[in-house]
Amino acid sequence: MSGVMKKTLVATLIAVLFAGAQVGAQETYFGKNKVHYKSFEWSYIQTRHFDIYFYEDAYPTSKFAAEVLESAYVEISHELHYKLQNRIPIFIYNSHNDFEQTNIISSLLPEGVGGFTEIFKKRVVIPFDGSYEDFRHVLHHELTHAVTYDLLYGNSLSSIISSRRFFNMPLWLAEGYAEYSSRHGWNYNTDMFVRDATINGYLAPPDYIQGFLAYTEGPALIKFIAEKYGEEKVGELFKKGKIHLSINKAVKATLGIELEELWEDFSKEMKRRYWPAIAKRQEADEFAHELTHARKDGSHFNEKPAYSPDGDKIAIFSDRSDFTEIVLISAIDGEVLKRLAKAQRSGDLESLHSYVSGMSFSPDGRKLVFVVKAKGKDALCLLDIKSGDIYERIDLDYYNIVSPTWSPDGTKIAFSALDGHKRDLFVYCFDNEEIVQITDDRFDDLDPCWMNDSKTLVFSSDRPHPQNPILDAAGQPYIFSEGSYMPGDLEYGCYNIFMVDLEKHRVEPVDVGSGQNRRPAVAPSGDKIAFVSNRNGIDNIYVGYLDSVRYFAVTNTLGGIRSISWSPDGDKIAFSAFQKGAYDIFLLEDLVPVGNNGVLTSTDYVLGKYDLLDPEEPVATIASESPNEAPSDDATSAGEPPAVSADNSETDQDIAIEKTTDVGEPVSKEGEEIAGTGDVSGDSVETEEIVTETGVYGDEYIFVDRDSADALDELLTDIPADSTLILEVLTEPALFDSIPPRLPSGEYKITKYKVKFTPDFIGGGFSYNTFFGMRGQTQFVFSDYLGDHQIIVATDLVNTIDQSYVQAYYFNNKNRINLGTGLFHSKNYYIDERDHLFSDRFYGLMLFARRPFSTFSRLEYSAAQFFIDRDYVDYDDPREDRNSKVSTMSGAYVFDNILWGYTGPMNGRRLKLSVDAGINLFDAKDIKFYSFGLDYRKYWHISGAFSMAFRASGGASFSRTPKLYFLGGTTNWIGKRTLDASVYEVENLYFAEVVTPLRGQSYYGISGDRYALMNFEFRFPLVQVLAMRFPLPLVLTNVTGVAFSDIGAAWYGDDYPRGTSLGGPGHLNDIQTGFGVGMRLNLFGFALLRYDLAWSTDFNKVSDKPTSYFSLGADF
């Protein structure tokens, strides 16, 4: 994944220096930034199996995590029949905004990522968002990854070195088991996704399970295996995978059937389970008026409707333009009236928190309040509807802010904010610009809405509710024992409706019935309330009078409803619902009871019809382990106790986790970038990272050569074919017994974090460019546990150091300004166009610094001292040996807000303005130059996989030895090259630039100390799936095509190129033009292969034969 601060430091230096700062460097590097807005001072506590790291006031959160992790580990160990052999480090961030600044991985972490686990050091990294149930779920989810990594890959050194033994674990197994275990088998929201996929025909075979299906269909498949074959088969599947290194063989060895047969059995069971629901319930467009159409406009997320006071407009969040934006639509037909704000485009609006937060109109309808993230913090933004301008920004010092709502009298805004380790309600008063805290306790308070008097708030909270208690499997209160840091016990995870008086701050429950009850909305009349409840197993809208205890369902949907908004006349409700794989906005006009007088039929999931196995007693019990689910209306009416588990508490963050676009998929949303595709262009020379992320469905596992030799085999234990007993480790190493007990007070000992370098990666890699061809190296990467400090050593060591390529770099990524320094040495031999042999020793040192302004823009600076010792080997070569000592400096402003498509950027723009200079301070007659450059790129996403791209670039160099620009060919062209003598001059070999693409021309075809180039491309889908059976079984997917036109020129000094001829037929003189078509093919996730067929033209005639270009890497 490109566009990350730490990785861009590594990538830029290695990209330049691997090619020796030479002609081989062909691609301008862009990328977004990971901005470190603050420094963190870390400490940690230790439990028997975990080192839990935290900072600031997060000790209470870390204590909660300690109990959850140890309890979850007992469950996981029981399920997998395996015990940890290594301690697991856990890193807890106080908010998602802080979490996005982590250096543990350098990939950008979008809003929907709820946590990740890194494979080599098995580091688990998680933010706390205010919901203890979300936190419990993600801790358990990520711990399953850490334990399975420990099972599959062993100790850190083995996993770093022994790529030969890597099991290419599919996403459905990795994420499916993680959700299965952390949800205790199943979950009503997972039920919704799988039901929708089954009914609407997008349930995918295992080989094609990606994106949110890995988190929904995946656990369904794991649960199916556990029910039909026994839960012990789940753990056995991982162990067989370690032996056979193939999921197909592992399934065969574990279950005795082929993977294809497993899929057939599973899909039939899902159809039997869900197709009867079609007769019992309706899809949203059958009972409500559909205002947005995700299937038509290509969006996936239309959410959080907010009715305007005049009743003819609705504000929504939508990703129809790829970027999340606030759109004003007609309340009658859904026509887009105005686009009010667009995120992911600049540092002022990095995020709108659309997954977890809503918005609200002012009482006069002229203004809109919503939350934005900028500069690492959340703020309330007030937008003028008429002008579309943000006229005020209210900066608040909280970890996060969600759900702002304007009071009916227009004098206040209520919101929910995370302050420390708890999320409470606050009110901002316009009169005195003060913040008043309304609730102040350990519970998660969300979704405030105003009563008509502007003195009372109705909200949802997981605080105890006397009419809707939280019960565990045994019918006992569902609690977390907090110890001494807070008195009493913390009940959490079951959300209900409450009211709070702003003057007395007295909280009172609203008796709305059983289930998870959230997102309340008070009717304009002030006497009714609508809310979302899952009491029948599906999120539906319920309505009732506040002075009554009778609330009835007004929807009976197949999907699930998320957010609601009353019309000003109180006759309609706008809502968002999940349907056919996306969220859309609907308008409910008939607010009448449905079902049996407002009571809905329970889903089979709630009735327990999906559980084919006899339920087990929980292995260990804390407040997060109840396997029960929300009772249905039927169950309650039948007199059964309303046993509601915290496992039911699907907050907005859960939905965000499951709806995030796959960063490994080509098309990304919410500012995500494409995962590494093996691209060897300048944008992809990166240190590889292998992580499993909750909510990010990236390419988490590497492709390996299982026949390759291992450099350090003697350090590893080979796995015999009959290694079942070796894999089923049932005893723990003594290292777990060395942890000191808790202090006499019952508290944990707090220890300060210290920097200690450990290996991240040891292995081989290669790169390709047209000048040098294929080049390989061995890489050693070391970092501290936080990733703030990194050391990279790369070498192709041969007989002696002076004949080897060696480079070593240190990067400090802890602060806002990222710093790097390095030493490098290479020895290369060349044969020039006259068949003379000569060698260059190229060595020196480099300093590097980057200062990001936001995710999208930065300044970067570098300085280097290069030493070039040239030796002409042939005795008859008349040229004299040469030694150059060149000092260089460069600076650039970079802007990048693009979104990735299948083969390259598909939306957004990029800009780079650069200046650089070089001089030999030891020889006034040697190299001296300075130059300026411009590179601007713009992308338009048309629809689906159709997009257009435009690029304009230019450069100019001056002084005694201006550097040259070589134009022609394409980046990383795999083919024969013909070079003239000028290419091998020291000035050109090490300081010139190759500018591509200019197709229709030969490589290095034209040159000058000035250049201008424009490129146009139309990118389109060509082949979606191509399955071959002969001569090799091969399936190709997402093959794309391109039609292009390139036009460019290079010249010297003031000798400007002549544009067109002065006589005869009109044609171009010095300006070179090419056009053609091409194809792009992903080589099994390893690299992107490009094929272009180009003709040159002067607009009078076209070349007789086209030129073919095979190349590697992403499109520009």
Residues 813/849, Cβ–Cβ less than 8 Å: no
For residue 835, being part of any structural domain is answered with no
pLDDT for the residue numbered 722:
31
Mean pLDDT, the chain, integer:
82
430 and 531 belong to one structural domain = yes
In a 13 Å sphere around the CA of 150, the CA atoms on its Cβ side amount to 26
Alpha-carbon 78 to chain mean position? 31
Tell me, what amino acid is at 236? E
Residues 635/115, Cβ–Cβ less than 8 Å: no
Q: What is the mean pLDDT of residues 952-979?
A: 88
Structure tokens at 67: 């109990």
Task: Return all residues near 608 (Cβ < 8 A) that are at least 6 apart.
Answer: none
> Other C-beta atoms within 10 Å of 706: how many?
11
Least confident range of 336-340, 354-358, 827-831: 827-831
Task: Return all residues near 1013 (Cβ < 8 A) that are at least 6 apart.
Answer: 951, 952, 953, 954, 967, 995, 998, 1046, 1047, 1048, 1049
pLDDT for the residue numbered 1083:
79
DSSP assignment, residue 206? Answer: G
Task: Return all residues near 449 (Cβ < 8 A) that are at least 6 apart.
Answer: 405, 457, 458, 459, 520, 521, 522
Handedness of CA 604, 606, 607, 608 (dihedral sign): positive
Q: Which of 968, 975, 966 is nearest to 770 (CA)?
A: 975
> Other C-beta atoms within 10 Å of 713: how many?
12
- The CA-CA-CA angle for residues 162, 167, 169, to 5°, reads 140
For residue 877, being part of any structural domain is answered with no
DSSP assignment, residue 634? Answer: H
289 and 225 belong to one structural domain = no
For residue 7, being part of any structural domain is answered with no
pLDDT for the residue numbered 3:
35
Asked which of 630, 648, 666 is the last residue of a domain, the reply is 648
What is the tens place of the pLDDT at every residue in 1042-1081? 999 999 999 998 887 766 665 556 666 689 999 999 999 9
What is the tens place of the pLDDT at every residue in 680-711? 333 333 333 445 555 432 222 222 222 332 32
141 and 165 belong to one structural domain = yes
Say which residue, 481 or 472, is predicted with more confidence: 472
Tell me the three-class secondary structure of 754-802, residue by residue.
CCCCEEEEEEEEEEEECCCEEEEEEEEEEECCCCCEEEEEEECCCCCHH
Share of the chain above pLDDT 70, in %: 79
Structure tokens at 393: 């920004």
pLDDT for the residue numbered 1066:
60
For tokens 């499993």, the residue is 692
Residues 958/930, Cβ–Cβ less than 8 Å: yes
Q: How far apart are alpha carbons 1045 and 807 in whole angstroms?
A: 39
Pairing state of beta strands 496-501 and 507-509?
A: antiparallel
136 and 284 belong to one structural domain = no
Q: What is the mean pLDDT of residues 581-595?
A: 95
Q: How far apart are alpha carbons 879 and 629 in whole angstroms?
A: 84
Number of domains forming the structure of the chain:
3
Asked which of 717, 733, 752 is the last residue of a domain, the reply is 752
pLDDT for the residue numbered 776:
66
Calculate the CA dihedral of residues 134, 136, 137, 139 and round it to 10 degrees: 120
> Other C-beta atoms within 10 Å of 418: how many?
24
Asked which of 736, 752, 768 is the last residue of a domain, the reply is 752
For residue 867, being part of any structural domain is answered with no
For residue 847, being part of any structural domain is answered with no
What is the tens place of the pLDDT at every residue in 894-926? 999 999 988 999 999 999 999 999 998 888 788
pLDDT for the residue numbered 746:
83
312 and 390 belong to one structural domain = yes
What is the tens place of the pLDDT at every residue in 115-125? 999 988 899 99
pLDDT for the residue numbered 1012:
96
455 and 553 belong to one structural domain = yes
Burial state string for 176-210 with b = 16 or more CB within 10 A and e = fewer than 16 = bbbbbbbbbbbbbbbbbbbbbbbbeeebbebeebb
Q: How far apart are alpha carbons 888 and 891 in whole angstroms?
A: 10
Burial state string for 141-150 with b = 16 or more CB within 10 A and e = fewer than 16 = bbbbbbbbbb
Tell me the three-class secondary structure of 887-946, residue by residue.
EEEEEEEEEECCEECCCCEEEEEEEEEEEEEEECCCCCCCCEEEEEEEEEEEEEEEECCE
Q: Which of 816, 809, 813, 817 is nearest to 846 (CA)?
A: 809
Task: Return all residues near 261 (Cβ < 8 A) that are at least 6 apart.
Answer: none
Pairing state of beta strands 528-533 and 517-522?
A: antiparallel
Measured in residues, the chain has a length of 1116
Distances (CA, A) of 364 to 66, 199, 408: 49, 43, 9
Structure tokens at 405: 């709502």
DSSP assignment, residue 153? Answer: H
CATH code, domain with 927: 2.40.160.50
Residue 100's domain spans which residues? 42-277+657-752
229 and 273 belong to one structural domain = yes
Q: What is the mean pLDDT of residues 952-970?
A: 94
Tell me, what amino acid is at 142? E
Burial state string for 689-705 with b = 16 or more CB within 10 A and e = fewer than 16 = bbbbbbbbbbbbbeebe
pLDDT for the residue numbered 798:
60
Q: How far apart are alpha carbons 823 and 839 in whole angstroms?
A: 20
Strand-pair partners of 885? 867
pLDDT for the residue numbered 439:
95
Q: Which of 78, 575, 649, 148 is nearest to 358 (CA)?
A: 575
535 and 679 belong to one structural domain = no
Q: At 734, is the pLDDT very low, low, confident or very high (cuts 50, 70, 90)?
A: low
pTM: 0.85
pLDDT for the residue numbered 651:
41
What is the tens place of the pLDDT at every residue in 145-203? 999 999 988 765 555 554 445 788 999 999 999 999 999 888 899 999 999 999 999 99
Residues 49/71, Cβ–Cβ less than 8 Å: no
CATH code, domain with 583: 2.120.10.30
918 and 1028 belong to one structural domain = yes
> Other C-beta atoms within 10 Å of 725: how many?
9
Q: Is the pLDDT of residue 230 over 90?
A: yes
Q: How far apart are alpha carbons 644 and 516 in whole angstroms?
A: 8
Q: How far apart are alpha carbons 416 and 400 in whole angstroms?
A: 8
For residue 865, being part of any structural domain is answered with no
> Other C-beta atoms within 10 Å of 659: how many?
22
528 and 450 belong to one structural domain = yes
Q: At 797, is the pLDDT very low, low, confident or very high (cuts 50, 70, 90)?
A: low
For residue 253, being part of any structural domain is answered with yes
Pairing state of beta strands 88-93 and 50-55?
A: parallel
Say which residue, 144 or 801, is predicted with more confidence: 144
Q: At 1098, is the pLDDT very low, low, confident or very high (cuts 50, 70, 90)?
A: confident
Q: How far apart are alpha carbons 694 and 181 in whole angstroms?
A: 14
pLDDT for the residue numbered 553:
96
Residues 608/456, Cβ–Cβ less than 8 Å: no
pLDDT for the residue numbered 432:
93
Least confident range of 251-265, 683-697, 872-886, 931-945: 683-697
Distances (CA, A) of 118 to 694, 753, 761, 793, 933: 11, 19, 12, 21, 39
728 and 637 belong to one structural domain = no
Structure tokens at 1015: 């490129």
- SS3 of residue 567 by DSSP: coil
For residue 670, being part of any structural domain is answered with yes
322 and 364 belong to one structural domain = yes
Q: Is the pLDDT of residue 215 over 90?
A: yes
Q: How far apart are alpha carbons 142 and 570 in whole angstroms?
A: 44
Alpha-carbon 696 to chain mean position? 5
